[in-house]
Structure 1
Amino acid sequence: MRKIIEPCGFHCIKMNHLGVRFGDQVILDDVNLHFHCGSLNAIIGKNGAGKSTFIRAILDDIPHTGEIEFKDTKDGHMQKLKIGYVPQSINIEKNTPVSVYDLIASYESNAPVFLHKSKKVYEKIKNTLAVFEAEDLIDKQVCNLSGGQLQRVLLSMAIMDEPNLLLLDEPVSGIDQNGMELFFQTMDYLKKNYDLAIILISHDLDYVAKYADKVILLDHATIAKQGTVKEVFQSPEFDHVFGMSSEEKWIREGEKNESGNILV
């Protein structure tokens, strides 16, 4: 089993003056953010605010201005940022004869996985799947997985190489309520036990309020507000974007625990 690494709290990932334009259209404008390991950072905003574009810019999938910087202050030197990524969905044709092992192993080895099944790679994949209670899926065909099962497989792929940054672009689309709670509990586990920062795009404000350490509100290409859940959810910018009443915002900011204290 892989040794769990406690978050050091020193790794810092910075986005400096990040911008994206398509012709004359500004999709992201001068975004400046920093993230530390051991934190769950939620990106929220209406459709078209630039959330997915932000993820694609970090992945270098699209041209952008500005820079992304990773510094390991514990060792005092710059090093290459390793990124794990879970998309909204992947397209798998029905009856495609690809197992979970085949899918993940294809990213781990340069050799065709169907020619030789490596026992070492098999065990590594199985151990990573076990983090998400999905080790029993390793020999199942990907096309036959449920939405929740596929999500756990994709998360396993994303953390296989121990990334510094985990990007999640609305990964819970189509997941039921129980699956949502399990997903966010898993994110809470990852941020506490792995040396990484998590950036999550989400429309599920209830869960963002309950689990996020930091919230970034995007509005028409710019950062309208950033800070703690309380700072963002109680802000005029939040009310402007989502048009919520004070009562609705209060409900979304947290739930009462058994002693009656607000969990914000």
Structure 2
Amino acid sequence: MKQKNQYSPNLCCTKIENISVWAGKSLLIDAVNLHLHCGEILALIGPNGAGKSTLLRSLAGELRHTGEVKLLDTAGNKLNSFSMGYVPQTPKFKVGSPITVLDLFAVTLTRRPLWLGYGAGFKTRVLELLALTSAQDLIDRQLGALSGGETQRVLLALALEPKPNILLLDEPVSGVDQSGRLKFYELVDELSRSLNMGVIMVSHDFDAIAKFADRAVLMNKKMLKSGTVTEVYESQEFQELFGVKIEA
């Protein structure tokens, strides 16, 4: 199990307060409250349909929500602006498409038509980002030729520009083989600490959560239990929801 980080109460912190999401008259998530320290990995656990991905999408700005997200500096003052990175489930790119990894970065980061080419130094910057996820050798590869693990390392690098205060991971290694999953989580663990970046990840991999997450939140439309991974795994709420008790 991951050694629990020791956080000072004065370290920078993201506070997610009373986040609720509605679809018409249906309440998808109800009054979720979370706090996330810089450099910390927080895992969201729950059954399918529990609202985990809905919460991430609302934080990323894809869904309207009530409530507030605040980033506080080391003095506890609210910052007016902050950045979030987002890595979705593994997408499927069309095999044979001529679009390369470099093209993906160009379209996403510069908003320039590909036929205009790249600005001076752009490829160098992309190589720097890809190097953070051990993917620099993929820069000229076609997207459709990448494995699931390679694709997710590319998307992880893309999510780091601009450097996010919070990184959101929505089942990022779904469909990726075991070695690819392990490499991805090891990279996230290293990046969270080296970039002092908070991470919120959705995962059904209880072993990976125990190994890499600092804390966990159990939810099913609303928060049921939060604490260390061990506390959540051994809780009555976890056992009632999943029918098992896990020794973390």
TM above 0.5, one fold? yes
Contact 2:149 2:181 in 1 (8 A): no
Is 1:167 matched up with 2:193? Answer: no
Separation in structure 2 between the aligned mates of residue 23 and residue 160 of structure 1, nearest angstrom: 34
Q: Does 1:22 pair with 2:23?
A: yes
Kindly indicate whether the alpha-carbon contact (under 8 Å) linking 1:127 and 1:135 is maintained by their aligned counterparts in 2.
yes
Moved more, 43-52 or 176-185: 176-185
The answer as to 2:111 corresponding to 1:110 is yes
Query: Is 1:236 aligned with 2:236?
Result: yes
Q: Give the Cα separation in 1 of the matches to 2:144 and 2:178.
A: 23
- 8 Å CA contact retained: 2:90, 2:173: no
Report matched runs for 1:92-241 at 5 Å.
92-219=93-220, 221-241=221-241
1:49-64 matched pairs, under 5 angstroms: 49-64=50-65
The CA distance in 1 between the partners of 2:62 and 2:78, in whole Å, is 26
Partner residue, 1:80? 81
Residues 124-167 of structure 1, C-alpha deviations (whole Å, 9 max, x = no match): 11011111111111011111111111011000000121100000
**Deviation for aligned residue 1:75:** 8.6
CA distance in 2, matches of 1:53, 1:23: 14
Per-residue deviation, 1:119: 4.1
CA distance in 2, matches of 1:199, 1:115: 36
RMSD over aligned CA atoms reads: 1.8
Structure 1 runs not aligned, ≥5 long: 1-6, 254-264
Q: Report deviation, 1:76.
A: 4.0
CA separation of 1:72 and 1:182: change in aligned 2, threshold 3 A: same
CA distance in 1, matches of 2:185, 2:78: 33
TM-score calculated relative to the size of structure 2: 0.92
**Conserved? CA contact 2:85–2:166, under 8 Å:** yes
Cα distance in 1 for partners of 2:188, 2:181 equals 11
Q: Deviations over 1:32-83 (max 9, x none)?
A: 1111110001001000110110011101211211111112235945221201
Compute the displacement of 1:106 (Å). Answer: 1.6
Q: Which moved more, 1:68-77 or 1:47-56?
A: 68-77
1:230 counterpart SS class: helix
- The sequence identity of aligned pairs, in percent, is 40
Q: Which runs of 5+ in 2 are unaligned?
A: 1-6
Structure 1 outlier segments of 4+, above 6 Å: none
Kept in 2, the 8 Å contact 1:18–1:32? The answer is yes
Letter of the aligned partner of 2:225 in structure 1? K
Name the aligned partner's letter for residue 148 of structure 2.
G
Give CA-to-partner distance per residue, 1:157-178, whole Å, 9 cap, x none: 0012110000000010111111
Q: How many residues align?
A: 241
Query: Matches of 1:64 and 1:110 in 2, distance apart?
Result: 28
**Contact 1:102–1:114, Cα closer than 8 Å, also in 2:** no
Question: How far apart are the structure 2 equivalents of 1:86 and 1:76?
Answer: 28
Letter in 2 for 1:207: A
